[in-house]
């Protein structure tokens, strides 16, 4: 009997010791968790099932400026203020009512009245029966990020307005210059000089069209060149109505986006070549003309082919054109692109070939 009693006492002692040890371990873990929450740089709030605040860690106290006793028992409306979206607050309260999580950003005011932004996440806590008893709210004060973001947005808006105004003024000034040259051309009796003036007008209008498309586009550093090709052809064709009625335009053009730095010389090249086609490739008596334009990208390079079935150019004519202004202009523009070009002509027509490597648009360095 004594041995059984002694064994029972030992078992009871061991069970008590084990329970006490588990309790101490649990208490130590709880103290560690509590300490971690108190030292956390993140905001931590704990609410009851109804969303009333039961605990706020020191980070939230420092951020809000309110003492713990002023926060305890307050509803989650305490996280909002007059500049908080009502829809966001209703979404938060709906999540609490349904016992589910929520994530979003709320605006608040500190005790001193200063606005600040909180990015928070709400997580429901369930007991052993699966019932929601509390909500754990963690978050960050993202006010510095929002302030920086707002400054950057304002700076970008100002830059966009300034660049748009710059392009708009340049376009208007080019229109004035073009108008004056056109007026001079209409009053000029000498045919050679008249043609030169009208050619100059076409070049200026091409530059103006570039600024117009940039002004209308979402980006001031790059341009989709496909609609620009169509616009240049229409513009040039409009100056030669007799030739326009006899030329069928066939386009095989990819929607390639070029930087302004490459788009500007490329547009002038296109204008120069297309003008030559309408001006020289066909006589007034000819019909059934075909102007074919290919513009595509392959392996990082851009290719442009412009061909016609007009009267063509002999090799001697191509060679003799090298010292003319138009050819000198083409050479200069293609050199700006870092590309290469050539003319090929025969009795069946003329083809212009050009190739250049496309550069990536750097919005920080975009421009001319």
Q: What is the pLDDT of residues 293-318, one digit of tens each?
A: 999 999 999 999 999 888 776 666 66
* Span 63-84, average pLDDT: 83
> Which whole-number Å values give the CA distances from 210 to 78, 213, 216, 225, 262, in the listed order?
54, 5, 10, 10, 12
The mean-pLDDT minimum among 167-176, 239-248, 265-274 falls in 239-248
The mean-pLDDT minimum among 34-48, 96-110, 200-214 falls in 200-214
Name every residue whose Cβ is closer than 8 Å to that of residue 320 and which is 6 or more positions away in sequence: none
Residue 217 has pLDDT above 70, yes or no: no
At 103 the three-state DSSP class reads: strand
Query: What pLDDT does 335 receive?
Result: 93
Q: Return the structure tokens found at 216.
A: 């209308």
- 143-186 and 191-216 are packed helices; what angle lies between their axes, rounded to 10 degrees? 160
Residue pointed to by tokens 């009208």: 198
Q: How confident is the model at residue 65 (pLDDT cuts 50, 70, 90)?
A: confident
Q: How confident is the model at residue 341 (pLDDT cuts 50, 70, 90)?
A: very high
- Residue 226's Cβ-side half-sphere holds a number of Cα atoms within 13 Å equal to 9
**pTM higher than 0.75, yes or no?**
no
Query: What pLDDT does 214 receive?
Result: 67
> What is the phi-psi region of residue 2: left when phi exceeds 0, alpha when psi lies from -120 to 50, beta otherwise?
alpha
> For residue range 174-194, what is the model confidence (pLDDT) as tens digits?
888 888 888 888 888 888 888
Residue 289 has pLDDT above 80, yes or no: yes
Dist CA 95 CA 245 (whole Å)? 68
* Span 72-79, average pLDDT: 81
Query: What pLDDT does 368 receive?
Result: 41
Dist CA 217 CA 224 (whole Å)? 9
> Which whole-number Å values give the CA distances from 206 to 45, 128, 130, 175, in the listed order?
63, 76, 72, 10
Query: What pLDDT does 48 receive?
Result: 92
Query: What pLDDT does 2 receive?
Result: 47
Q: How confident is the model at residue 366 (pLDDT cuts 50, 70, 90)?
A: very low
Cβ(195)–Cβ(186) under 8 Å?
Answer: no
């Amino acid at each position: 009997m004594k041995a059984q009693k002694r064994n029972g006492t030992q078992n009871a002692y061991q069970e008590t010791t084990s329970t006490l040890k588990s309790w101490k371990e649990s208490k130590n873990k709880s103290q560690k968790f509590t300490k971690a929450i108190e030292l956390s740089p993140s905001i931590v709030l704990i609410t009851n099932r109804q969303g009333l605040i039961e605990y706020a860690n020191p980070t939230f106290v420092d951020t809000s400026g309110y003492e713990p006793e002023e926060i305890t028992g307050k509803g989650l409306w305490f996280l909002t203020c007059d500049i908080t979206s009502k829809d966001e607050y209703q979404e938060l309260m709906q999540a609490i009512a349904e016992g589910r999580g929520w994530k979003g950003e709320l605006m608040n005011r500190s005790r001193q009245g200063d606005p600040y932004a909180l990015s928070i996440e709400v997580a429901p806590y369930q007991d052993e029966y699966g019932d929601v008893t509390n909500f754990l709210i963690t978050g960050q004060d993202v006010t510095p990020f929002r302030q920086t973001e707002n400054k950057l947005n304002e700076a970008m808006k100002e830059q966009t307005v300034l660049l748009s105004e710059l392009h708009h003024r340049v376009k208007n000034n080019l229109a004035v210059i073009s108008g004056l040259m056109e007026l001079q051309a209409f009053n000029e009796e000498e045919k050679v000089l008249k043609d030169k003036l009208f050619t100059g007008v076409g070049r200026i209008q091409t530059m103006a069209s570039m600024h117009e498309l940039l002004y209308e586009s979402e980006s001031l550093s790059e341009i989709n060149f496909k609609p620009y090709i169509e616009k240049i052809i229409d513009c040039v064709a409009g100056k030669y109505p007799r030739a326009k009625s006899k030329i069928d335009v066939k386009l095989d053009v990819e929607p390639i986006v070029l930087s302004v730095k490459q788009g500007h010389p490329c547009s002038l090249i296109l204008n120069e070549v297309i003008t030559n086609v309408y001006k020289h490739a066909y006589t007034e008596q000819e019909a059934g003309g075909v102007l074919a334009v290919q513009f595509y990208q392959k392996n990082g390079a851009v290719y442009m082919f412009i061909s016609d079935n007009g009267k063509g150019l002999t090799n001697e004519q191509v060679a003799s054109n090298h010292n003319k202004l138009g050819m000198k202009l083409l050479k200069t523009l293609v050199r700006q692109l870092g590309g290469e070009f050539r003319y090929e002509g025969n009795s069946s027509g003329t083809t212009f070939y050009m190739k250049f490597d496309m550069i990536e648009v750097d919005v920080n360095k975009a421009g001319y």
